[in-house]
Structure 1
Amino acid sequence: MPSQGTIGDRVRGLRLNRRMSQAQLAGPDLSDSYVSLIESGKRTPTPVVARLLAERLGCTTEFLLHGIEPRQRIDTELGLRHAELELQHGDPAVAADRFTEIVKAADEENAMLTAQARFGRARALEAQGRLGQAVEAFERLRREAAAHPERLADLPLTIALSRCYQRAGDRLRARDLAAHALEQAERLNVSEGEIAVDLATALVEARGENESDSPELAYVKKVLDTAGVSQVMDRSGEIRSLWEASVAAATGEDSALAVRLADDAIMAGRESRLALQLARAAMHWARMPAAPIEEAERLVSAATGVFAAFPSATGAYGESLVVHARVRLRAGDLTRAAELAGQALEPADERASGTTAAEARLVLATVALELEGSADSELATAQRLLSSLDRPVYGTDRQAARCWRELGDLYGRVGSVAQQTAAYRKALEAAGVRSAMAGVTADATASH
């Protein structure tokens, strides 16, 4: 049974296979000229007409409209769900392979399913840290979204691109894209739900360090105030159980039940994902020097509580403790700042992810200097930790630049001019866009 091409191609192919004329297919209900318009692609049959034509052509309405039989479609839907679960709760590399298989197997006419799979593959590439490939994939999808808005939504793609450029160290492009996404969101009045949370996180991560008042930050604050940063349970055990049950149902040929169980698993993880994203937005908000102390304290405390509930968020937990320590520094609470910085070093000490350990040491050095003690040991350790980041850890270029600059400031306070100059030089090097985006030539500016 032919499945390639458009709806019109399938109608014509099936009609010719059955040796029917256009007039015979039209019957008493339709005109042969209308059938001709459908076959030429100038008309799309309504659901009622599609059912009528399917009956006369001896196929299902699903096949006529989408080019696949119901069983094929449900199997593809199930494959998408299992790939999504792999992306969110398993191995992103495996998820990328599964999404790729779906893209290869899907018929060209099934644009919605194919687009979902390609979007999933792009996100899987991003999750692996393959940012150059992810950007190229997102850019292609974004161009197609402009041509086919009925198949692809531009807003999630723009947010994803902003996130990728931010993590690669290109903050200017990240901000341009995030600002463009904000225009769309405000035009549509999108301030709640997954897209709003993802956008708020992208906006606050791409903001300037000393910004305190902008439309972007106003949107972030609105999302944080509306959604709140609430405590949630780690439901990874429940998700894994539902996922395994879905796989078992699929093996037993019960595809409908398998889809339902996979949907339950995805929904069980959605609450956690949103909570973690909101916690990230709250943590970055609290990091701003201009954030009111009480508000920053409330938000970062809530964020730390969320991260603490998830074993997979150990890195973010340590980062939030350092942010909290800096809030206490601003409040003049040196004892509490030192306690929090010490806690950030406890889980893995100097093996903490990214710049967290170095930042904790810088906080301890600042406390020592404020108390008129010696900070030499903490400064030397921070310098060694930062030097070990010989190549940017995923998403740490900007943090590294900030840490080197702070290290230079502290060396200046103790009168070590040579080390101060060397630290500032390192800050300038780290502030440049590194090799994570090498080879990417796609224009990621918000040009439309």
Structure 2
Amino acid sequence: MDHSEPSSPVGLGQRIRELRVRRGLKQQDLASEEISTSYVSLIESGKRAPSDAVLAALTEKLGCSAEYLRTGRDQHEMEEARLKLAFGDMALRNGADGEALQTFSGLLGSPLPLDAVMRRRARVGQATALEKLGRLEAAIPLLEEIYDDPGLAAGSDEWCRTAVALCRCYRNLGDITVSIEIGERAMSRLDALGLDVTIDHVQLGSTLMGSYRMRGDHTRAHLLAQRLIPIAEKQGARAARGAVYWNAGLVAQSRGQLNEALALTERALAMMAEDDNVRHVAMLKMNYGWLLLQTESGELDRAKDLLEEAQQSLAETGNADELARCELSLAEADTALGNWPEAAAHAERALGLLGSEPRVVAVAARSILAQLHFLRQETDLGKQTLEAATRQLRHFPVSYETASYWRRIGDMWRDEGYPKQALAAYDAALSASGLQPTPSPRHALSERAR
């Protein structure tokens, strides 16, 4: 039931009448020396609006609050709703995402009175819990409904956070094109409004930067990073600056500039370390550890330590996708260290975390498992697992990320002596990168002959 309708003399009078009848009272029972029976009748019919003094006298006889008569919202029920909202928010902060989802969903389905702001806050909490639980396909429709709500002011912090969540959810589902469209439209809207920059605005730009990187638009991502860094520095908040350096580090890695990527990520980690966002610090440690794995520095043990620290924090504060990515980085570290059983256990845990919803990350997990089978001379199992990864990868839209996975699969087929499968994977990688096959003259002549 929506209790957010504005008060009116008609609504107020109707509530007085309904409550009087429910209490078994007559109009004259509400009358007094100051309030005549006929005046009570006029109030109930909506023809008179009572003064505060008259309303106070009526509430005393009806045994209710003035808030209820004015708005239809009971003060005790409103307080209960506020407490449940606060409990749901606290559960999200503590990583109890399932409990948070249950709280917000129960509140939205209950008869408790919620005004428009409280209802939107509960829906945001519900969508956030779904995203953190990895249920992205369920979170997206809720976020789109919130984002399209005319009561949500464009450019507000809540509007920015919703745009960021939508952009991130579509990206994590593998639909990079939609993710970028949402991010670009939101950034254009902010530019048109000419509002002061906040942390949430910078976060939106950082999220869009990450989507550009995953699509392979490294130049555009780099240019956006150059635009955001001075804004974040001027804005001053360490979290905002850390978010920009974090994504700028990932962009540098994609451009092959590993030393710059490590420096930017280390700077972001130093900024975020003083923040109270445990999840962000864990994600940065995971990224830093993963970057160390890409270098030839030989710091495998340090990389693994960072990844294990990140894993412990993400187990409490991260979502399924983030924890799965951390497990895969640990699998890569243990593979390089020769700890093959441990590496396989990490990859299997990642698959379990990802569940049945489509995830590009699941392709990486199966690729790692296939590699481990080949290393242990389990050729048939390796082929079966790599073929499963290949079948799954065909279902995702083309992007820089899918191209990199096709390249990885092609390299594995090549190294194991399967040139036909390797060539098919390399061909898919080129197509995913935007390079189309060259038309064959023989094929054109054959078609003409027909």
Same fold (TM over 0.5): yes
In 2, the alpha carbon distance for the partners of 1:361 and 1:219 equals 38
Decide which of 278, 286, 297 is 1:318's aligned counterpart.
286
State the match for 1:257 in structure 2: none
RMSD, aligned α-carbons? 5.3
Structure number, greater radius of gyration: 2
What per-residue deviation string (whole Å, max 9, x for no partner) do you get for residues 31-82 of structure 1? Answer: x9xx75x99xxxxxxxxx9956743652645335543233332222121111
Specify whether residues 300 and 413 from structure 1 end up closer, same or farther in structure 2 by C-alpha distance, changes over 3 A only: farther
* Structure-1 separation of matches of 2:169 and 2:190: 19
Alpha-carbon distance change, 418 to 185 in structure 1, aligned in 2, over 3 angstroms: same
For each residue in 1:373-392, what CA deviation from the matched residue of structure 2 results, as whole angstroms up to 9, or x when unmatched? xxxx9994498699498569
* Residue 207 of structure 2: aligned partner: 202
CA contact (8 A) 1:161 1:177 kept: yes
Distance 2:307 2:113 in 1: 52
**Counterpart Cα distance in 2 of 1:78 and 1:427:** 52
Q: CA deviation at 1:103?
A: 1.2
The CA deviation at 1:133 is 1.0
Aligned-pair identity in percent equals 19
Aligned 8 A contact 2:225 2:248 in 1 = no
How far apart are the structure 2 equivalents of 1:14 and 1:102?
Answer: 24
Task: List aligned pairs for 1:13-52, cutoff 5 A.
Answer: 13-16=14-17, 19=27, 24=39
SS where residue 105 of structure 1 aligns? coil
| Amino acid of the structure 1 residue aligned with 2:404 | R
Structure 1 counterpart of 2:198, from 172, 192, 199 = 192
Structure 2 residue 229 is matched with structure 1 residue 221: yes
Cross-structure match for 1:371: none
Residues of 1 paired with 2:243 and 2:219: CA distance? 21
Match of 2:12 in 1: 11
Q: In the TM superposition, what is the alpha-carbon distance from 1:167 to its structure 2 partner?
A: 0.7
Give 1:113 shift: 1.1
* Residues in 2 aligned to 1:398 and 1:382: alpha-carbon distance in whole angstroms: 27
After superposition, the C-alpha distances for 1:288-328 in whole angstroms (9 at most, x for unaligned) are: 4177954x3332113455579959965653332223554xx
Q: Does the CA-based 8 Å contact 1:67-1:107 persist in structure 2?
A: no
Aligned equivalents of 2:258, 2:15: Cα separation in 1: 68
**1-side partners of 2:165 and 2:157: how far apart?**
14
Distance 1:161 1:357, change over 3 A: same
Judged with a 3 Å threshold, the aligned counterparts in structure 2 of structure 1 residues 219 and 276 are, in CA distance, closer, same or farther, namely closer
Letter in 2 for 1:211: H
Contact 1:359 1:403 in 2 (8 A): no
- Residue 411 of structure 1, CA deviation: 7.8
Inter-partner Cα distance in structure 1 for 2:4 and 2:288: 52
Which of 212, 216, 219 is 2:219 aligned to?
A: 212
Name the amino acid aligned to 1:284. Answer: L
AA matched with 2:87: H
Compute the TM-score of the two structures, normalised by the length of structure 1. 0.58
**TM-score normalised to the size of structure 2?**
0.58
- Closer, same or farther in 2 for the Cα pair 1:419/1:300, shift >3 Å? farther
Instruction: Supply the AA of the counterpart residue of 2:162.
Output: L
Deviation at 1:180, TM superposition (A): 1.6
- Of the two structures, which has the highest relative contact order with CA contacts closer than 8 Å and spacing of 6 or more? 1
Q: Distance in 1 between matches of 2:186 and 2:249?
A: 21
Give the total of aligned pairs: 346
Give the structure 1 partner of residue 247 of structure 2: 281
SS in 1 for 2:219: coil
Shift in Å at residue 160 of structure 1? 1.8
1:12 maps to a residue whose letter is G
Work out whether residues 344 and 360 of structure 1, in 8 Å CA contact, stay in contact via their aligned partners in 2.
no
- Give 1:362 shift: 10
Give the C-alpha shift of residue 132 in structure 1.
1.1
**Structure 1 unmatched runs, 5+:** 40-48, 231-270, 365-376, 432-448
Report the residue type matching 1:189 in the other structure. Answer: L
SS at match of 1:424: helix
Give the AA of the match of 2:197.
S
Is the aligned partner of 1:335 residue 2:297? yes
SS in 2 for 1:179: helix
Task: Tell me, in whole angstroms, the C-alpha distance in 1 between the residues paired with 2:51 and 2:74.
Answer: 14
- How far apart in 1 are the matches of 2:55 and 2:109? 27
